[in-house]
């Protein structure tokens, strides 16, 4: 075997547990370097668990939407607090927006008891979320009872989301 056909990386050290596959260089290009592909023989248990959790979260991504938004809100408010703590003062009036919406809707579109309860529930949920957002931006998301309030709100939103989606699905299937 001549030096032109033999790979020049034969003396390279490879870590234990790694399989190295060498693809020889192409015949027409003398200056091209050979490709080296390193393939792990076995994945670790931690990577298997992480891959399984990632696949499970991906499969149920629509069901976990409120939880994902809540988890995303925590570091974003921490960043907002670090960057501009006074932004909580700007966000505080937004907490009154759901109550203003409710008053507007009650005057313009009176409804029955079930619709009124839905509107009240939505107003209460949106007010609590916007109040938490303003307070977390002003004081930090881990200050005082804000983390507990975040946890309660995230769990309530997730449970309500799952219940609403389940009843909507049943209603759609029974009508068809």
Cα–Cα distance between 97 and 125 in angstroms, integer? 12
Per residue in 135-176, pLDDT tens?
A: 999 999 999 899 999 999 999 999 999 998 887 655 555 554
Residue 9 has pLDDT above 60, yes or no: no
pLDDT for the residue 22: 64
Per residue in 69-101, pLDDT tens?
A: 999 999 999 999 999 989 999 999 999 999 999
Q: Long-range contacts for 143-151 (Cβ within 8 Å, ≥24 apart)?
A: 150/70, 150/73, 150/74
Q: Provide the 8-state DSSP code for 93.
A: G
CB 102 within 8 A of CB 62: no
Cα–Cα distance between 137 and 143 in angstroms, integer? 10
Least confident segment among 37-46, 58-67, 120-129, 158-167: 37-46
pLDDT for the residue 176: 47
Quote the mean pLDDT of the chain: 83
pLDDT for the residue 167: 73
Q: 72 or 42: which carries more pLDDT confidence?
A: 72
Cα–Cα distance between 155 and 25 in angstroms, integer? 57
């Amino acid at each position: 075997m001549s030096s032109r056909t033999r790979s020049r990386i034969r003396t390279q050290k490879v870590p234990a547990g790694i399989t190295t596959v060498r693809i020889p260089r192409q015949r027409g290009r003398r200056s091209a370097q050979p490709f080296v592909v390193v393939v792990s023989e076995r994945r670790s248990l931690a990577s298997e668990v992480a891959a399984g959790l990632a696949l499970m979260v991906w499969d149920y991504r629509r069901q976990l939407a409120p939880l994902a938004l809540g988890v995303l809100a925590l570091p974003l408010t921490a960043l907002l607090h670090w960057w501009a703590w006074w932004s909580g003062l700007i966000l505080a009036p937004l907490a009154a927006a759901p109550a203003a919406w409710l008053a507007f809707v009650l005057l313009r579109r009176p409804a029955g008891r079930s619709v009124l309860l839905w509107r009240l529930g939505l107003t209460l949920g949106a007010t609590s979320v916007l109040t938490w957002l303003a307070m977390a931006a002003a004081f930090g998301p881990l200050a005082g009872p804000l983390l507990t309030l975040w946890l309660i709100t995230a769990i309530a939103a997730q449970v309500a989301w799952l219940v609403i989606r389940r009843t909507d699905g049943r209603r759609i299937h029974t009508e068809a």
